[in-house]
Amino acid sequence: MSDVKLAIVYYSATGTVRGMAERLAATGESLGAEVRLRQVERTPTGGEKAATDEQAAEAEEAKGAAGVTADDIVWADAVLFGSPTRYGNIAGQLKVFIDSLGAQWGAGQLADKVYAGFTSTSTLHGGQESTLLALYNTIYHFGGIIVPPGYTDPSKFVDGNPYGVGHVAGQGDRPLDGVTFTALDHLVTRVVATAKKLTA
Ligand SMILES: Cc1cc2nc3c(=O)[nH]c(=O)nc-3n(C[C@H](O)[C@H](O)[C@H](O)COP(=O)(O)O)c2cc1C
């Protein structure tokens, strides 16, 4: 479908958002995009705990995943940012990374790219939409092109989040499922297709 350069940049404490990012990466690659899957450095936050032993093991493994740098954003035609919802906002760790991009912002290197977001909460709704909107506040300042899913596919009437993709993880007892995977696939397909048009 494309040789679009796609950066998937996420923070995840207990593995849910990481699983979402991995799905986006796999689908993005299947679409022909060149994908960089990058995690923001994990640092402890009060209240975080792996809900299951399996998630704890996954989170431990993720420590070895490639860390994000500013170059990953500059390089990309499209960027998907993922974060757990924290009090209806993105995680501070992702915000610290975004705040480190001042030089690239000043040089205009963050503008004119496609952006969208994904998140995970413990509770139903739980601030998913406010998290995505908070993320998008930053993208306006970048001069980025936000490509939300809207209701551009029948599947969006099932997951019901026109702002991006959100998964309700419960206490870690609600793993990623078909509804979320379908929503992620739709988002990355739309983002890659739009970026391809912009880079043509
Ligand atoms: C400090 C903190 C704040 C949180 N705030 C919310 C919240 O506002 N709404 C919610 O439903 N879950 C909240 N959660 C739960 C996480 O969003 C949820 O566990 C998420 O699935 C974790 O994603 P991860 O596995 O990728 O780390 C919070 C968790 C922490 C540690």
For residue range 16-27, list pLDDT tens digits in order: 999 999 999 999
Tell me what pLDDT residue 38 has. Answer: 97
Q: How far is 47 from 1, CA to CA, in rounded Å?
A: 42
Tell me what pLDDT residue 48 has. Answer: 58
Q: How far is 52 from 198, CA to CA, in rounded Å?
A: 42
Tokens 């989170």 sit at which residue? Answer: 59
Among left, alpha and beta (phi > 0; psi -120 to 50; other), residue 71 is: alpha
Q: Is there a contact between 191 and 116 (Cβ–Cβ < 8 Å)?
A: yes
Task: Give the number of domains in the chain.
Answer: 1
Tell me what pLDDT residue 176 has. Answer: 97
Å from CA of 196 to ligand 1 middle = 33
Tell me what pLDDT residue 56 has. Answer: 61
Tell me what pLDDT residue 88 has. Answer: 98
Q: Which atom of ligand 1 is nearest to the CA of 88?
A: 8
Output the residue whose Cα is nearest ligand 1's atom 28: 86
Strand 145-146 and strand 114-121: the pairing is: parallel
Å from CA of 192 to ligand 1 middle = 28
- Establish whether residue 12 lines the binding site of ligand 1, counting it when its CB lies within 6 angstroms of any ligand atom: yes
Residues of the chain with pLDDT under 70: 1-2, 45-65
Which of 61, 63, 118, 121 has the most ligand 1 atoms within 8 A of CB, as the residue to mutate? 121
Q: Which atom of ligand 1 is nearest to the CA of 48?
A: 31
Helix intervals (H) in the chain: 16-30, 53-62, 70-75, 92-99, 102-106, 128-142, 156-159, 178-199
- Establish whether residue 86 lines the binding site of ligand 1, counting it when its CB lies within 6 angstroms of any ligand atom: yes
Output the residue whose Cα is nearest ligand 1's atom 8: 87
Q: How far is 108 from 66, CA to CA, in rounded Å?
A: 25
Output the residue whose Cα is nearest ligand 1's atom 9: 126
Can you give the CATH number for the domain in which 57 is found? 3.40.50.360
**What is the extent of the structural domain holding 24?**
5-199
